[in-house]
Structures are given as C-alpha cells and as structure tokens.
C-alpha cells in the first residue's frame, strides 16, 4: 500500500463551525505533514510530525490544531476559520526524518475546504 | 531562508517533442535534495524525479532528466518525447535536513496534440 488517503474530499463550513480533516497512511512512515495550497499557488508547509511529535509549526494560527494520534493517522482540527482559509489542504508522509534518500514525501489527494 | 524560483509560469510543447522547465534556488547549505513534482489538474501531486546535492551525476527517470548545476544553483527538468499525459503543473522543490520542503511557484505545462 503506497497510498496516503484523506477525508473528506470536500468540506464546506461556516466560520463558527468545528470540523476535522483526516489523513491516513499504512506505509510505516514516521513523518507526516500538513500543507495548505491556494489556487494556482505552490503548497505551503503548515506542520510536520516526526515520530508522532510535532516538529515544525510554521507559525500557523491557532484556529488550526494538528493532532497525531498514532503513526498512521494525522488530523487537522479546524475552528473559527476565516474565508481566506479556503484552500486545498494536502497531507503527506515520508519514511523518516533527516536528509536520507528514502525520505521522499508521498502526497494525498487533498481536502478542498471552503469557509463561508 | 531558502527560496525556489521558477521563472516560467507557463510552457507549451508539441506532443513527442522535448521541453525544459527551469528552476533556480538559493541556499547556504551543502547537503540537500531537489525534486520535481507533477500536479495534474484536480489530481494528486506525484514525484517525478529527485536529485541529491552531493551527487554530480544528473538524475534520470525514463523520459525525465535533470540538469543539476550546483555552483549555479540551477535544477532544470527536461521532458523528452512529451505525451498528452504530461500536461500538469510542475513544481520544483528543495528539501534540507529537517524535512522542511519549499516549493517554487510552479510552471503550467500544456502539451499540444
């Protein structure tokens, strides 16, 4: 299994809602990532988890709250979002940490989020 | 801070011909990885090719090859025998030791039949 899966595919939420995005991989990867991608722009790194611990937080607003319950699962909890947070949210995973050749990042298909 | 620059927002190629996408980057690191990712419309981002900075030999994957010039901090992608399925947004990316990966702005490639 060389897949990263993300649910839901699409999400529409109001600014007062609380929702969660889910990402799963069963490749035994120990690093997982959240990216935000606006239309016609490159992905921007939000968070990195390594061995289930938060390693990088790119100064993301607290209305985005990541969680890594286990090595296969990564969640992104959303609360009080703004319309400008509408974007494609990509999850990725890699085998490990550091500058190794097998640390290629595998991307999921993304969740397209619309905040009304 | 590391930056990745793709100076060609859009490129077009005739089917079966060759096209080269440009990428430059800025870094003070000596060890790093460079990547080209492909993102077809409404589809998943996939890795096309990668290059280790310590390797002088240019990476090749079937019809895809790179021209890596470390001193010039240049990393171009050549697609030979272009196919309709190659049409996509192509992102150049740089990764350093801490798994922090940075992407360029992307080049949208159109393949004409």
Q: Tell the residue number behind the tokens 């606006």, with chain if given.
A: A38
Calculate how close chain A gets to B45, using CA atoms only, in Å: 6
Subunit contact B47:A31, Cβ cutoff 8 A: no
B32 touches chain A (CB under 8 A): yes
Output the pLDDT for position A97. 64
Name, in order, each residue with C-beta under 8 angstroms of A60's C-beta and a sequence gap of 6 or more: A46, A47
Confidence of residue B70 (pLDDT cuts 50, 70, 90): very high
Residue B92: alpha-carbon gap to chain centroid: 4
Task: Calculate what percentage of chain B has a pLDDT beyond 70.
Answer: 96
Confidence of residue A102 (pLDDT cuts 50, 70, 90): low
Cβ-nearest to A107 among B44, B50, B106: B44
Output the pLDDT for position B54. 87
Mean pLDDT score, A78-88: 96
Cβ-nearest to A42 among B52, B100, B103: B103
Confidence of residue B107 (pLDDT cuts 50, 70, 90): very high
Confidence of residue B39 (pLDDT cuts 50, 70, 90): very high
> Residues of A near B (CB-CB distance < 8 A)?
31, 33, 40-45, 48, 50, 55-56, 90, 94, 97-99, 101, 103-110
A30-51 tens-digit pLDDT: 999 999 999 989 999 999 998 8
Query: Cα–Cα–Cα angle for A109, B52, B41, nearest 5°?
Result: 25
My answer on whether omega of the bond before A38 falls inside 30° of 0, hence cis, is no
Mean pLDDT score, B28-39: 91
Q: Tell the residue number behind the tokens 């995005």, with chain if given.
A: A21
Of the residues B61, B95, B99, B104, the best mutation for testing chain A's interface (the one with the most A CB atoms within 10 Å of its CB) is: B99
What does the alpha-carbon distance between residue A7 and residue A11 come to, in Å, rounded to a whole number? 9
Output the pLDDT for position A70. 92
Mean pLDDT score, B3-29: 96
Output the pLDDT for position A57. 87
Subunit contact B43:A105, Cβ cutoff 8 A: no
Subunit contact A99:B43, Cβ cutoff 8 A: no
Output the pLDDT for position A11. 96
Mean pLDDT score, A7-11: 96
Calculate how close chain B gets to A99, using CA atoms only, in Å: 5
pLDDT above 80: residue A110: yes
Output the pLDDT for position A33. 94
pLDDT above 60: residue B110: yes
Subunit contact A56:B100, Cβ cutoff 8 A: yes
Task: Calculate what percentage of chain B has a pLDDT beyond 90.
Answer: 76
- Listed range (A8-22, A36-50, B97-111) with the worst mean pLDDT: B97-111
B109 touches chain A (CB under 8 A): no
Name, in order, each residue with C-beta under 8 angstroms of B4's C-beta and a sequence gap of 6 or more: B23, B24, B25, B26, B92, B93, B94, B102, B103, B104
Asked if residues A108 and A23 have their Cβ atoms less than 8 Å apart, the reply is yes
Mean pLDDT score, A2-17: 92
Asked if residues B46 and A107 have their Cβ atoms less than 8 Å apart, the reply is yes
């Amino acid at each position: 299994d060389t897949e990263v899966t993300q649910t839901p595919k699409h999400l529409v939420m109001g600014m007062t809602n609380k929702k969660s995005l889910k990402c799963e991989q069963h490749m035994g990867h120990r690093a997982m990532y959240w990216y935000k991608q606006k239309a016609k722009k490159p992905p921007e790194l939000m968070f990195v988890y390594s061995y289930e611990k938060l390693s990088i937080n790119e100064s993301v607003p607290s209305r985005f709250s990541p969680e890594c319950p286990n090595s296969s699962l990564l969640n992104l909890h959303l609360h009080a979002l703004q319309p400008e947070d509408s974007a494609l949210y990509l999850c990725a995973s890699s085998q490990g940490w550091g500058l190794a050749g097998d640390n290629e990042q595998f991307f999921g298909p993304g969740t397209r989020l619309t905040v009304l | 801070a590391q930056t990745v620059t793709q100076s060609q927002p859009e490129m077009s190629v005739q089917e079966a011909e060759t096209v080269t996408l440009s990428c430059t980057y800025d870094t003070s690191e000596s060890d790093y990885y460079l990547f080209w990712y492909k993102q077809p419309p409404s589809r998943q981002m996939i890795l096309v090719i990668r290059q280790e900075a310590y390797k002088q030999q240019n990476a090749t994957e079937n019809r895809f090859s790179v021209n890596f010039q470390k001193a010039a901090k240049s990393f171009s992608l050549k697609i030979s025998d272009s196919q309709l399925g190659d049409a996509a947004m192509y992102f150049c990316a740089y990764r350093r030791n801490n798994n922090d990966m940075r992407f360029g702005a992307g080049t949208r490639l159109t393949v004409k039949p």
